[in-house]
Amino acid sequence: MLTKILITLLVIAGALFYIRRPAKVSRTETAGQLGQRILFRYVAFAIVVLAIIGSGAYWYWSWEEGNEVVSVTIVSPVQEKTTIYRVHKRDIGINELTTIEGVKVRLSNQERIIIAPKVTQ
């Protein structure tokens, strides 16, 4: 996730460096060439702004999804019992999970987990 943000910032910095590069003073421009250059700057700026907004929206959506509280039921075939925990989605790992209260639960290979969609608080 951090690499995506860094790459996005690098692209933005490159675009701004390219846009702010001083123009070559070789000859005078026609009105059409000046208009094309101004249009190109606006289009490049719009693309940079859309990239920033898109990255921010994706980050917010990912953060919100991870904060969603779900009900996790652990079924143990060895002990023939089920246990239900309330967990944030981001705290569900491969072999362990952390409850809302901060309790770490390790899972064995025989245990099965069932994740319910949402928990009303």
pLDDT at 110: 84
pLDDT at 121: 54
pLDDT at 119: 57
Q: pTM of the predicted model, to two decimals? A: 0.56
Average pLDDT over residues 48-66: 93
Write the pLDDT tens digit of every residue in 43-52.
999 999 999 9
User: pLDDT: is 25 or 45 the higher one?
Assistant: 45
Mean pLDDT of the chain: 86
> Residue 106 is inside which H or E element, if any?
strand 104-106
Inter-residue contact 69 to 86 (CB < 8 Å):
yes
pLDDT at 13: 86
Write the pLDDT tens digit of every residue in 69-117.
999 999 988 888 888 999 999 999 888 999 999 999 998 888 888 888 7
Angstrom distance (rounded) from CA 38 to CA 35: 5
